[in-house]
Amino acid sequence: MGNATASTTKRAVCRELASILKSSPLQGALDPKEFFMWLHSRFDTLMRGSTFDLCPVWDALGGPDRPQALFGLFLQFRDACGKLGLEPKLPEIFASLSAAQEAEALRLYLDVDDEYTPLPEAFLTAVEAETSPLSPSEPPPIALPVDSLAPILDANLRRELIMKVVQAVKAAPIGSQVDAGQLTFQVTHNLDDLVQGSTFDFSPIVDGLRGLSGATDADIWPAAAKLESTLPKCGLTLRPVDLAVDDETKERLLAMSARAAEESRQALLAAARGPGGRDQKASADSSENNQAKEEDRSKADRRKARASRLQRYGLQSWSSMPKNRRYIRAAVLTVVALTAGVFVYLTRPNRALDANTYATTVPLKTAALVDGFFAGTLDEAKWYKTPPEQREAKLRELENQLRAHGFIQNMQIRDASGSLVITTGSKNQLVGAKVIMTGEAPPAKPSAPSKPSPPSQPSQPSQPSQPSQPSQPSQPSK
C-alpha cells in the first residue's frame, strides 16, 4: 500500500505542477512535457516526508534571472502543493515577501509578455538588500544543464535530424565548400545545444558557414529554406535565421534548387537503366531464363553432379552406400534421435520434481514445474518446527537452490489451504508471507463430534425357575 500511495502522490504532484506551467504565460519558453519528465525523474530527491522542496526547481529554472515570471509561478506551485496535502519549501526570498508583494508578483506574472523584463524597481527595493537573495553580492543560482530540459531524441530521430541538416547544407550553393564528414561530426556532437525545446537553432551553423571564404547569405539561405520545410517531419520547427537575402534572390535560388533536384532525379533514372537504354528488368528476365534452363537438365546429370559434390566432402548418396554402412548410419541416427527425445522429455515444461531435493531448506510436500515455472506445496508440519529466527536463512538457501536450477522466476509455493505463502519478488528474490515467517503453526481444526449412540434397551429380568417337583417315592414291588 505504501508504494502505491507514493506512486499516486508522485503522479499527482508532477501532473499538477506541469498543468500550472502549461496554463501559464511561461509555457512558450518552458516545455511542460519536459518539465513533467524532469520533476518525475527527480521526485525522490525533492520529496522529504510530507515536505516538497521547490528550491532545486527554482535554481534549475534560472532563479532570479526571470523574477517577474518565476515569482508568480512558484507562488502558484506553493498553493498547489498545499491543496495536495504537502508542505512546500520555497526559497528564502519568499519568506521576506509580504501579502501585498505576493499579490504584486502574481499580477506581474499574469501580465508577463513573451519578452521577459525585470521586476520594477519599487518591487525590488521592497525587499531589504541585506537579506534578499536577489542582492548582487549573492552567488548566482545553479543553472540547469542544457540536456536536463532538452527534448527526448531517440537514436532514430537523431540520425534522421543529422541527415536532414547535412543534406540541406550540401544541397545549397555553400555545400561545395563543406566536407560532409566534418559537418556530420560537428552536428552530432552539438545536437543537444542546437535543439532547444521544440525548435532547432540553425544560427551556430550559419555563423560557421559565414566564415568560409567567399560565402554570402544567399549561398546559405537555401539550406535554411529546406530545413524549414523538412524539420516539421521530425516534430521540430526552425528558429528564424537573420539572412540578408531579398525576395527576388530567394525566388531565383528556389528555381535553381528545383532544377538541381530534377537533374538529380534524371541522373538516378539513367543510372538505373542498362546499356542502350534498356532497363535492368530485361537483364533480370534473362537471368531467370538461364536459371530455368539450368533446372531443365536431365535427372541423371543432376544426380551425377550431386554425387560429385558429396564426394568432395567425403560423403556419398544413400543409394550408393554399402548395406553395412547403411545400417551403421541408421543406428547412429536412431541413437541421436533417442537422445534428443530423452532430453526433450526430461526438460519438458510440465513435470514433477523430487520434493526431497529441497528438504534441507524449506520442506515441501510436492514440487513440480507448471508451464516451466516452479510450483510447490509447503509441508507446514515440518516448517513450523523451524525457529522463526532461522526461517529467513532457510528461505535464502531455497532462493540460491532455485536460482542454481533456473527455477527462480515466477515461482510459487502455497500452503495446504491454497494460499500463496512464498513467491518471487523484486530483483528475483524470494518473499515469504508474514504468517509463515514469524507466526506459529495454526491450531488444528477440531474434529466434528460423533453422534451419540442410542441407549441400549434394559435387559428383561430372567424368569425365576420353577421349583422342581419332588419326586414321588417309588411303589414297593409286590
Q: Where are the domains of the chain?
A: 2-126, 155-268, 304-347, 351-437
Tell me 175's DSSP state.
G
Distance CA 176, CA 260 (A): 14
Q: What local confidence, expressed as pLDDT, does residue 377 receive?
A: 92
Buried b (16+ CB within 10 A) or exposed e, 450-460: eeeeeeeeeee
Distance CA 244, CA 181 (A): 28
**In sequence order, what E strands does 167-319 have?**
195-196, 199-200, 237-238
Distance CA 222, CA 363 (A): 78
The segment with the largest mean pLDDT, out of 76-85, 321-330, 454-463, is 76-85
Distance CA 151, CA 196 (A): 7
- DSSP element (H, E) containing 377: strand 373-378
Q: Mean pLDDT in the chain?
A: 74
Lowest mean pLDDT among 162-171, 204-213, 298-307, 445-454: 445-454
First to last CA, the chain: 124
Distance CA 413, CA 27 (A): 53
Distance CA 63, CA 386 (A): 60
Give percent above pLDDT 90 in the chain.
1
Tell me 135's DSSP state.
S
Distance CA 31, CA 151 (A): 9
Altogether, the residues listed in the chain come to a count of 478
Evaluate if residue 216 carries a pLDDT over 80. Answer: yes
Radius of gyration of the chain (CA): 45
Average pLDDT, stretch 290-313? 72
**For residue 445, what pLDDT band results from cuts at 50, 70 and 90?**
low
Q: Given 3-state DSSP classes, what are the helix, strand and coil percentages for the chain, each rounded to the nearest 5?
A: 55, 10, 35
What is the number of helices (H) and of strands (E) in the chain? 19, 12
**For residue 394, what pLDDT band results from cuts at 50, 70 and 90?**
confident
Q: What local confidence, expressed as pLDDT, does residue 413 receive?
A: 92
| pTM greater than 0.85 | no
Evaluate if residue 349 carries a pLDDT over 80. Answer: no
Q: Which three cell numbers stand for residue 397?
A: 538457501
Average pLDDT, stretch 148-160? 67
Lowest mean pLDDT among 63-77, 283-297, 325-339, 447-461: 447-461
In 23-118, where does DSSP find H-type helix? Answer: 32-41, 43-46, 55-60, 67-83, 99-110
Tell me how crowded residue 428 is: count the other CB atoms within 10 A of its CB.
13
Distance CA 370, CA 382 (A): 24
Provide the β-strand partners of residue 420.
Answer: 414
